[in-house]
Amino acid sequence: MADYRPPLRDVNYVLDHLVDLDGLCALPAYLALDADTIKGVLEENARFVAEVIAPLNRIGDTVGSVYEPATSTVRTPDGFIDAYRQYVDAGWGGVPFPEVYDGGGFPWLVGIVMQEFISSANMAFSMAPLLTQGAIDLLMHHGNEEQKEKYLKRMVTGEWTGTMNLTEPQAGSDVGAVRTKAVPQTDGTYRITGTKIYISFGEHDMAENIVHLVLARTPDAPAGTKGISCFVVPKYLVNDDGSLGARNDVKVVSIEHKMGIKASPTCVMSFGEDDGAIAYLIGEENRGMSYMFTMMNSARLSVGLEGLALAERAYQDALQYSQERRQGRAPLVPAPEDGGMSYIIDLPDVRRMLLTMRSIIDALRAIIYVNAHALDMANHHPDEDVRQRNQELVELLIPVSKGFGTDMGIEATSLAIQVYGGMGYIEESGVPQHFRDARITAIYEGTNGIQAMDLVGRKLPMRAGGVMDDFLTQVSSLVARLDAAGAELAGIRDRLDESLACVRNTVMWLTEHGIADVRNALAGATPFLRMFGLLVGARYLADSALAAKADIDAGVGDAEYLNARITVARFYCDNLLPGVLGLESAVTAGFEDLYAIANEAL
């Protein structure tokens, strides 16, 4: 198992060529920053994560967090408390948040790069700051001044962590089925009673307080999602002077025994077993779901990033193993000096798997970083038209980042196991952990089926189809640029052009037949998400190849590295992108066969 090495060179390539980092620093919110400062911060963060967080990944998986019933507490694995204290002391959690809340004032893009590093290094550990960021985001947008003053600064610094309490035993993706009750009190507080499940880091020993954000229903609230409110429920009540007061009536009653991310305690939380948990309403009653959607884009982007991060970590392990493991003799490759078997990295099928992983990683990193850059532009650009165009891009790419990103992350971690062969099925090799950790990413923050329905049902109709059409027109312009670049990129051009035509035709079919019967659109949604994701990945890899060729022609940079970028883009377009054509019939098959077999016959 390889030591984690943050891929700074690949990260900087995307920052330099696929997003406008200088333009981002020119925005009024970031005038104090420049590209060199940002890269310096990322380099230091990469060092910290590799040295402090990554070494705990293995013990986190083998030991896991432990629930102690006698005290209703959760004990994290050895080393986690100290590592988290160092994380807080260094201020890493606050880097992408406003300075007014003791944050670093950096763009969200920078936070996303840092999330990649920590998620690759130790996904289970990363869940604590990730969930805290979501809670911070919601409170910043919808909390009142007293709530912001009381909670935000210590959450931004990481001294206190945050959770999101949505799911209940009967209410998974259907949040409208929530039954947890919130009864108003004469002093303006509420008393909450109910049970929440699947609460990541709902209880732990790394921070002195945990700020739970809880969805619940007030008396006489409307049914469904229209009757859900959002509340702050701290583990310890906070006194007026900021000190911690009494323990609130909220506790963990068990933790789940999971397939992966075992060091991240996934808790069953009980609210109000005694007198009712003291809670504070965020905003207005019955607006909880709309408040949750405030942070949904950034949360889903972060989950998509986990697919990228685990693919990167698994690739590093598989690459190192392929350079050490000997098996068979590679054709037309000189035998090792000792005359023995070849290293498996020289076997064509192993190289195919490695290049598949590498091209997936490069495509996902481009998609997710572009998505994060657009999020920053949508939030901070002074021109309203520019903000709107970027917000449309954010909305279009979010289901791709989350759904396609996690699907491909799972495939890449599975390929790493295959590179290892039989040893990949053995836990001691370490590589199965990446697959097990990755598997949850396609499920939470909205299953990937929900992402597909969002893409087809909400994103395709945006601006009467204009948003999708604009994106595909940009791809068409890219095809023209590839054509002008010459023979070296001709294969990328041809594959991209034929895939673009296929996606256009499929969008037209979904639009026409989905309007006629929504079941047609829903039946084709998941294969369409993959189809569109493949095209989006190709679009940005083609951009990457054009930039690499321009640098080579100008005599700038490391020619070997730049040629590798072109080769990876070409491999993706020759080996993965043709999947677009193969998926057309799946998208356009309609819904009839899905219901042609009786339930009893399935």
Residue type for 492, please? I
How many residues are recorded in the chain? Answer: 602
Which class for 159: exposed (0-12), middle (13-18), buried (19 or more C-beta within 10 A)? middle
Q: How many CB atoms lie within 10 A of CB 63?
A: 17
Angle between helices 431-439 and 405-420 (to 10 degrees): 160
Nearest to 455 by CA among 405, 373, 399, 412: 399
Burial pattern 284-301, b for ≥16 Cβ within 10 A else e, equals: ebbbbbebbebbbbbbbb
Partners of 232 in beta bridges? 213, 280
> 3-class SS at 284?
coil
Task: State how far the alpha carbon of 403 is from the alpha carbons of 271, 364, 399, 530, 536, in Å.
Answer: 32, 11, 5, 8, 13
Judge whether 163 and 213 are in contact, CB under 8 Å: yes
Task: State how far the alpha carbon of 439 is from the alpha carbons of 62, 169, 296, 443, in Å.
Answer: 17, 21, 20, 8
Task: State how far the alpha carbon of 119 is from the alpha carbons of 368, 408, 430, 431, in Å.
Answer: 14, 16, 16, 15
* Contacting residues for 501 by C-beta, under 8 A, at least 6 apart: none
Alpha helices for 200-340 (secondary structure H): 288-294, 296-324
Q: Give catalytic status of residue 445 as yes or no.
A: yes
What is the rounded distance in angstroms from the CA atom of residue 210 to the CA atom of residue 205?
A: 10
Q: Of these residues, 116, 285, 306, 445, which one is catalytic?
A: 445
Task: State how far the alpha carbon of 87 is from the alpha carbons of 91, 128, 452, 496, in Å.
Answer: 6, 11, 36, 43
- Residues annotated as part of the active site: 445
